[in-house]
Structure 1
Amino acid sequence: MRVIVGVKRVVDFAIKARVKADKTGVVTEGVKHSMNPFDEIALEQGIRLKESGAVKEVIAVSCGPTACQETLRTALAMGADRAIHVPVEGAAYETLQPLAVAKIFKKLAEDNQANLVLFGKQAIDDDANQTAQLTSALLNWPQGAFAAKLSVEGGSKVKVVREIDGGLETIELNLPAVVSADLRLAEPRYASLANIMKAKKKPLDKKTPEELGVDIKPRIKTLSVEEPPVRKAGIKVENVDGLLQKLRTEAGVTF
């Protein structure tokens, strides 16, 4: 059984994003980047499946500029067996959209005879939450979104406990399948120094979108990116009577 895991390079979660002066996007130059946190969780789950004997190979895939190879080396150090970099540079990368990424993963899943494709439920840069669903549709594979637990059943099915508004839902999927990871699925491990050194010798291949036969031209145009509105400062009231008065006269609350 072979697993492909998407690992996206994003602006680090601890960095406050800043909008470009021309409002075409977010400033990325000179800003710390790291692996998308939800993708780290998906990767950890893939590695755990391998350690349990349910999976023979874990392949990490990242689409983007040359710097994505650092993210892939991190994935290899965590325990992935090999990596594939799909180089997309400059303006093409800035307009790379979930549909194009899904088409890339569809082709890679077919070429590598994958049984399971794992994604984080969303990337923290665009919050699109689309790639897993689109990949599932293109491959015509069943999907389990927002997985909180995942287990392989008999080598032909996966059981997914997924988070829904009302609580938890347990579903069973026939393999091959696509699953997206939620926060509670797994806690990512830290890569040891020994594994970081070993990762340098693990295979990292390149496959361009052209080689995969995928058109990555954008279908959607971003008109403007805006900073969120500044939250107005609150006020303090001295007692409950003052609070009730403010609610009635200023907030328009009726009792």
Structure 2
Amino acid sequence: MTLRSNNSPEPEPSMQHSWLSTFRHRLADANSLIHLSALGVISGFSSALVILLFRLLIDSSSQLLLPGDNPENFEALPSWLHFALPVAGAVIMGLVMRRMNPADIKVGIVHVITRVHGHQGHFPVKNALIQFFGGAFAIFTGQSGGREGPAIHLGAAANSFLGRSLLLPNNSMRMLVGCGTSAAIAASFDTPIAGVIFAMEVIMLEYTVGSFIPVMLATVTATALTHAFYGNEVLFSIPPLDTTPLWELPISP
């Protein structure tokens, strides 16, 4: 039997974990609402930052081409560019994607749903990069698409990369993707309620307290961060509507 010297260091306990390891174990518990809520706030920041970079790329590129330093001023372009710009952009995108692996150019909402329900919420890096730069190029050249598809993909992928880098459990990955989707819609269009509804009904396919509260927190965080950069002006102005009294409905045309 050997005696340990008094000057020798005591070994660290085998059950001692870092704060990140403890956080992972807490997330594996379905009732860990506090930790999931903290993760929702973090995911809101990450999604908002990605969408802000995406919007900055679109706006800075459009300002180089469009008159008046207005990224929405397509009407001021010459008439021949109204046709030539989308056609040239489509040809360039077709030639580039023709040389790529078909699995790498799967992007958009369908790709997000497939990765959530078939691959535990893990997103390939190549697809996200193609969505980021390809989506910005498509919008810049006036293709028949908007920011909703790229925003949903980028928000979901950003949080998927966050969860994988932190080695989070699979149940948290699915929730992170839902938070990223909701936060991305809110950051892109300033529509937090629509983002929450879309994430819960289309991406996560459930309404539970454990998922609803983190998604709400992610959406509020992304909206607040977007307002800090772009202000709180309404993106789409709705004109006032004249309502008809109910008793006139049977005789109204």
TM-score, normalising length: structure 2:
0.28
More strand by share: 1
More helix by share: 2
Considering only CA atoms, is the larger Rg found in Structure 1 or Structure 2? 2
